[in-house]
Amino acid sequence: MLVIQGKGVSAGVAVGPLYFYRRAAQEIIRRIVGDTDAEWKRFEEASAVAAHQLGILAEKAREEAGDEAALLFETHQMMAEDMDFVDAVQGLIRDAALNAEAAVMDVSEQFAEMFSSMDDEYMQARAADIRDVAGRIVGILTGVVSGGIDSDVPVILASDDLAPSETIQMDKSKILGFITAGGSGSSHTAILARTMGIPAIIGVGDALKDEFEGRKLYIDGETGEIVIQADQLTAERMLTKQAKQQETRRMLSNLKGLPNETKDGQSIQIYCNIGSVEDVDAVIANDGGGIGLFRSEFLYLQGNTYPTEEEQFEAYRTVASLMKGKRVIIRTLDIGADKQADYFGLAKEENPAMGLRAIRICLSRPEIFKTQLRALYRASAYGKVAILFPMITSEWEVRECKRACLAVQQELKTEGIPFDPDTELGIMIETPAAVMMSDVLAELVDFFSVGTNDLTQYMLACDRQCDRLGKFFDPHHPAVLRAIRTVAENAHKAGKWIGICGELAADPTLTEAFLAMGIDELSVTPGSVLPLRHAIRNMDDPKARKRALKDLLEG
């Protein structure tokens, strides 16, 4: 038996075979080939397989997400078969006797560079598409399965690290658990794992060896324990824990439909964080009171180009309608830092967490912002949508956001398109500047939502992505909790409401303190709604909650 200790970031026990995630970034060896006919045939076959795969993907996308989603794969299919592309590859194979993999990569780079240098934004975005298609063909040529999970049975997926865009694109029905070599608990991959209710362990370094692939693993996403070739005792212990978790889930499900109210009568809203339309099922299944944070940027990470107004409208409208009048807070694009989409063409930055990200991108690229705001306002006619702006530091940013909203409202009115003019507007409190300005900012908006992940990072000058900071990254630091209390006081003074949507919202050791601060809403991963409700419904002493808050504020 071998036990590996990592850091548990998404609770739950999972048992299944280990599978290593493989990326498209294959190492391509350049070779001069003797038989160019045979090499050309290799390319033709790989390209046909790629086109076939893309056709299947287009159909799958059509069934699951509609015609527009299918179009992306159809475009890729056309690119794989495009005569200019094929001719250029043929030229390199036949004339330069280059091996097929290298020829495909060279030609795709030439094409990508050509697209990137065009003035038209749409054409620039095609660079990422051609690289994607080339990566698929090369993957077939080299036999390396890119990204997808090539297994008939669900697996425990291991990787060095996973980008949020990789996580979001995976077939979740194939994943029992995640293990990553690096990563941090507040990385978006960890957040996604929790949203999907999938056990996850990070920070195992190079402990998982290639030869373990396919072996049966027992993992505990709470303790961070990974067991290979478990002895009978360990296997029984893990399975007993899994059974207990299932039992707890049954007990919690009896709380559905009941209020989040303490025995002495204080109540709080518990909403959910989601990253996609599909996550709404989990919100409804866990009786979430609303959506406190729809991270809309994941719509931007799913494809190779900007989601259109129609695509976004469809997603927001669906969520708003599914939630049947319950509040749905949709955050505008929060791209940048660890959430990167190549097609945005953002310059590499030394310090992306402090760079051109989130609202800074929206205010610098008004056409992107406007498309999203139009989609959001259009969706507001189908439910109770609220709009949330991320990474605010200054009053002028909020004023500009509001101006952009008014302009969109005006436009929709002129076009006769229905929307809710009373759509609430809120801002994320994620920076010390927003905390210090919260009295002024509260006058400008309808609500605050505290993003404790970034607030911790910026208050403590600790990179949330860095896995070496250990106890220095302390979300319970009194400075963070004092900041939240200040913001709550300023919100309430202005008659506004305040929620918390960072990971701290689900931390049961802070629930009493949040109630004592008078926080109005907590937005958590769907799986945390009922455990929090259970804890709140067992509280009965407001003085004890005040004491808990005082202790935490004093540190």
292 contributes a contact to Mg ion by CB under 5 A: no
338 contributes a contact to Mg ion by CB under 5 A: no
Write down the least CB distance from residue 329 to Mg ion, Å.
Answer: 14
User: Which two three-digit tokens encode residue 409?
Assistant: 């409202």
Query: Number of residues in contact with ligand PEP, rule: CB under 6 A?
Result: 10
Longest Cα–Cα distance of the chain, Å, equals: 83
Tell me if residue 132 falls in helix, strand or coil: helix
Nearest residue (CB) to ligand PEP, 334 versus 424 = 334
320, interface contact from ligand PEP, Mg ion, none, CB < 5-8 Å by kind: none
6 contributes a contact to ligand PEP by CB under 6 A: no
297 contributes a contact to Mg ion by CB under 5 A: no
Write down the least CB distance from residue 170 to ligand PEP, Å.
Answer: 19
Residue 211 CB: number of other CB atoms within 10 A? 7
Nearest residue (CB) to ligand PEP, 252 versus 524 = 524
Write down the least CB distance from residue 456 to ligand PEP, Å.
Answer: 8
Active site residue 362: no
Write down the least CB distance from residue 464 to ligand PEP, Å.
Answer: 8
Query: Number of residues in contact with Mg ion, rule: CB under 5 A?
Result: 3
Contact call for residues 399 and 444 (beta carbons, < 8 A):
yes
User: Which two three-digit tokens encode residue 326?
Assistant: 């319950």
Within 446-475, which residues bind Mg ion (CB under 5 A)? 451, 454
Give the C-alpha separation, 300 to 168, whole Å: 11
Would strands 13-20 and 216-220 be described as parallel, antiparallel, or unpaired? antiparallel
Give the C-alpha separation, 252 to 246, whole Å: 10
Residue 213's identity, in one-letter code, is: E
Q: CA of 67: how far to CAs of 64, 279, 357, in Å? A: 9, 21, 31
- Catalytic-role residue among 188, 272, 362, 462: 188
Nearest residue (CB) to ligand PEP, 334 versus 467 = 334
Write down the least CB distance from residue 428 to ligand PEP, Å.
Answer: 7
Cross-strand bridge partners of residue 424:
386
164 contributes a contact to Mg ion by CB under 5 A: no
Q: Among residues 129, 132, 397, 430, which is the contact residue for ligand PEP, using CB under 6 A?
A: 430
Tell me if residue 235 falls in helix, strand or coil: helix
Give the C-alpha separation, 334 to 361, whole Å: 8
Within 330-359, which residues bind ligand PEP (CB under 6 A)? 334
Give the C-alpha separation, 36 to 27, whole Å: 21
How far from the centroid of its chain's Cα atoms is residue 188's Cα?
5
Residue 364's identity, in one-letter code, is: S
Write down the least CB distance from residue 155 to ligand PEP, Å.
Answer: 27
Active site residue 492: no
Write down the least CB distance from residue 457 to ligand PEP, Å.
Answer: 8
Write down the least CB distance from residue 286 to ligand PEP, Å.
Answer: 18
Q: Give the strands of the sheet with 7-10, arranged side by side.
A: 2-5, 225-228, 216-220, 13-20, 155-159, 175-180, 200-202, 7-10
Q: Provide the mask over 184-213, with x wherever binding to ligand PEP is found by CB under 6 A and - wherever it is not.
A: ------------------------------
Q: Which long-range contacts (CB under 8 A, 24 or more apart) does 72-76 make?
A: 72/303, 72/304, 72/305, 75/129, 76/129, 76/132, 76/133, 76/136
Within 437-476, which residues bind ligand PEP (CB under 6 A)? 451-454
Nearest residue (CB) to ligand PEP, 165 versus 453 = 453
Nearest residue (CB) to ligand PEP, 373 versus 392 = 392
Query: Which backbone phi and psi does 548 adopt, to 5 degrees?
Result: -60, -40
Contact call for residues 80 and 47 (beta carbons, < 8 A):
yes
426, interface contact from ligand PEP, Mg ion, none, CB < 5-8 Å by kind: none
Q: CA of 502: how far to CAs of 333, 493, 518, in Å? A: 16, 23, 17
220 contributes a contact to Mg ion by CB under 5 A: no
Nearest residue (CB) to ligand PEP, 408 versus 483 = 483
512 contributes a contact to Mg ion by CB under 5 A: no
Write down the least CB distance from residue 334 to ligand PEP, Å.
Answer: 6
Q: Among residues 183, 426, 502, 527, which is the contact residue for ligand PEP, using CB under 6 A?
A: 502
Within 269-298, which residues bind ligand PEP (CB under 6 A)? 293, 295
502, interface contact from ligand PEP, Mg ion, none, CB < 5-8 Å by kind: ligand PEP
Residue 381 CB: number of other CB atoms within 10 A? 15
Nearest residue (CB) to ligand PEP, 140 versus 319 = 319
- Catalytic-role residue among 272, 362, 405, 501: 501
Contact call for residues 154 and 173 (beta carbons, < 8 A):
yes
Q: CA of 319: how far to CAs of 261, 286, 327, in Å? A: 26, 16, 10
Quick one: which segment of 42-50, 190-198, 443-451, 533-541 binds Mg ion (CB under 5 A)? 443-451
Residue 419 DSSP code: -
Nearest residue (CB) to ligand PEP, 199 versus 451 = 451
Q: Give start and end residues of each alpha helix (H) in 475-537.
A: 478-493, 511-517, 529-537
Residues interacting with Mg ion, by CB under 5 A? 430, 451, 454
Residues interacting with ligand PEP, by CB under 6 A? 293, 295, 334, 430, 451-454, 501-502
Question: Annotated catalytic sites, by residue?
Answer: 188, 501
